[in-house]
Structure formats: C-alpha cells, structure tokens
Structure 1
Amino acid sequence: MSIMFLNLPNTLTLARLVLIPIIVLVFYLPYTWGPFASAIIFALACFTDWLDGYLARRLNQSTPFGAFLDPVADKLIVAVALSMLIELHASILLTIPAMVIIGREIVISALREWMAETGKRASIAVSMIGKIKTFVQMGSITVLLAFDPDHAGAVLGLGLLYCAAVLTLWSMLLYLRAAWPDLTSNRAIGRDTDSPI
C-alpha cells in the first residue's frame, strides 16, 4: 500500500488537526496565560495552513488525500475556535459574525461537493477574495483568543471578525455567481434522497 499520502505537506495538515483539541484544552486551563497560549498555538496552526500548501506546490506533492483533508482541517479549527469565543463572550455582537462565517463554510462545502458531482468543481476554485478572507479571519480569531472580552485588544479582534464576515459573504456570492448557471440548469442529475444529515 502506498504511503505517498504521508508526505510532508499532508503531515503538516494532520498536525493541524491534532492541534485542535490542544487549543481547546489550553484555552480552558485554569491559568491566566491559557487563552494567550491557545492563541499562539492557533497562530501556529494557521501558519501550517500556508506552509503545507506552499510545500505541496514547491515539492510537487499535491495528493487527493491532501486536497480532501486541508479544507476539512481549516473548517474544523475555525468552527471550534469560534464556538469557544461565542461561549466566552456570550454576546450577540460576536455571535452574529461567527455564525455568518460558520454558515458560509457549510454552504460553500455543500456547493463544492455538488459541483464535484457535476464535474465542474474547477469553476469555483478559491478566489483571491477567499484568500484575503482567510487571512483576516485567522488574524481576528488569534486576537480574540489572546484577549479577554473586556480588553481593548478584543475590540480590534471583533472589528477584524466583522471584516472577515463581510469578506466571507462577498466570497460566497462570487462562488454562487460562478456556480449559478449550473445551479439553475434544467439538466437532470442524480440526487441522493437519503442524505444522512
């Protein structure tokens, strides 16, 4: 059996998944430095997100396993971090942009799966707006994890989160516009009526 899927880029992606429970554990440690330490670990995980993609291209080690796992790791770490922040802040001001971001990820994941089934996934490839959104989003979460809700730094983080939410909606509209001709096509396709969700 080939172990090509265990190349360096994919190993970094797997490491990002392993860091998720560590971020949660450290965040809830009964020490004042816990949230700041979890923010550092989150930032490290964000760096691996960039690094594994760079190495996959540089070393020509892109694999189907990596293409599947990378977005899964990204969405999981963002959803988990935002869930912790919603609980910590207990404020509608943070909950609204967080839910926009999480909801968008669900919509785009479903759209990409559907487009893949129709053989046109390339038409909704990651855009530059999506990359900027990811950068702002990761920065905002890092700041919000590092500072208490009543700290001045949290205001900056919240502002960045709203910027990320706006970019999230913008990039979602771009994806939907690209897929719209296929979504509104009268061409019959197979449909799974027994969805597990």
Structure 2
Amino acid sequence: MLTLPNLLTLSRIFAVPILVWLLWSPSPLDYLITFVLYSLVGVTDYIDGYLARAQGQISRLGQFLDPIADKIMVAAVIIMLVATRRVADEPEPVIAGLTIIPALVILLREIIVSGLREFLGPLNVSVPVSRLAKWKTTLQMVALGALILGGGFPSELWIHQVGVISLWGAAILTMITGYDYLRVGLRHMD
C-alpha cells in the first residue's frame, strides 16, 4: 500500500491545500512559488504511473487515488485562478468573460466522467483512459501552469495568452473525450 507510486500520488493530494493557500491572495512571488510546486506535482503524476508500471506495483489504491488526485488538483487550481481572476485577466471585458467558459467545461466534464465511472463500476464496465484524454490532460496542465506563471510575470502578457489558448484547446479536447466516455456509458443505461 505504501509503495513509492502511491506515496507520490498521495503527495499530489497533500499539495492541493498548499497550492490553494499560495493562490489565495497571491503576489508575483507567490505565483512563481506556486508554479514551481505545480510543476513538481505535475511531474509526480507522470512518474508515479511510470514507476507503478515499470516496477509492477500497480495497485487498486493507486488506480483509485490517481484520478482523484488529478481531479482535485485541477479543480482547486481552476477555482483559485477564476477566484483571483487569473483566468479572466484580459484587457477586453468581453473576452475576459468568455475565458471562464473553458474552465467551466473542464470542471463539468470531470464531474460527469467521475459520475459515469461510479455508475459503470458496479456493472464491471471499465472506461480506459484514451490517448486523446492523455493529450487533454497534458494541454490542461500546460494551460494552468502558464496561467500561474503569467501571474509571476504580469508584464509578459504572452505567457497568460499561452495559458488561455491552451485552456481553450484543453476544453475542446475535454468535450471530445467527455463525449467518448458518455457514449460508452449510454450503451449500459436502460
């Protein structure tokens, strides 16, 4: 149970309150510290899965905790970036309002897919993570990282723009992969 992959997954869960605290009322330095922590947490997401497979330490606990760790980290960061207006930090108010849409799409998809997995679990139907879903996660991590880093360098608007464009890209992939999961789930509903 306390294998290195599981400990890395747990470290991501324990990092979430620290990320939230750093993003609560951030200064540019807080954003930079948050970016470093966020990047480390993101790397552990890759490493724990790699180690679990390479060392034959795939466990039920890890399979349970890994997606939860990802979802709570992403949800917490998105909520804090919206709360501190980093997601909507645009010079044009209309664009700023629209930038909330991809954040909502990502959060709603995570809730729907989690509910769908919970529904399909007792039916012994697994919905494996697709390659496109992994790309979605990567783009989402880049987007949130760029939005955090942009807070550390407020005069470098291009960093924020990379985050916003990546967030929209992640939202598009989120809708595609969410539809794929939903399509599988609908086949098992009466």
Q: Does 1:163 align with 2:173?
A: no
Aligned residues: 178
1:154 to 153, 160, 185: 160
Question: Following the alignment from structure 1 to structure 2, what is the Cα–Cα distance between the partners of residues 144 and 21?
Answer: 18
Structure 1, unaligned stretches of length 5 or more? 186-197
Q: Does 1:86 align with 2:82?
A: yes
Question: Following the alignment from structure 2 to structure 1, what is the Cα–Cα distance between the partners of residues 148 and 75?
Answer: 13
Q: Secondary structure at the match of 1:20?
A: helix
Q: Does 1:27 align with 2:26?
A: no
The code of the aligned residue for 2:108 comes to G
Once the two structures are superposed, the pairs formed by residues 174-189 of structure 1 within 5 Å of their partners are 174-183=180-189, 185=190
The code of the aligned residue for 1:82 comes to I
1:130 to 130, 133, 141: 133
Higher relative contact order (CA 8 A, sep 6+): 2
Question: Following the alignment from structure 1 to structure 2, what is the Cα–Cα distance between the partners of residues 77 and 92?
Answer: 23
Contact 2:137 2:170 in 1 (8 A): yes
Question: Following the alignment from structure 1 to structure 2, what is the Cα–Cα distance between the partners of residues 57 and 178?
Answer: 26
The code of the aligned residue for 1:133 comes to K
User: Residue 118 of structure 2 aligns with which residue?
Assistant: 113
The normalised TM-score by structure 2 is 0.88
The code of the aligned residue for 1:13 comes to T
Question: Root-mean-square deviation (CA), in Å?
Answer: 1.5
1:25 to partner: Cα distance: 2.2
Structure 2, unaligned stretches of length 5 or more? 89-95
The normalised TM-score by structure 1 is 0.85
Contact 1:139 1:160 in 2 (8 A): yes
User: Residue 148 of structure 2 aligns with which residue?
Assistant: 145
Q: Which has the larger radius of gyration?
A: 1
Once the two structures are superposed, the pairs formed by residues 91-102 of structure 1 within 5 Å of their partners are 91-102=96-107
Question: Following the alignment from structure 2 to structure 1, what is the Cα–Cα distance between the partners of residues 131 and 160?
Answer: 27
The 1:166–1:9 alpha-carbon spacing in structure 2 relative to 1, beyond 3 Å, is: same
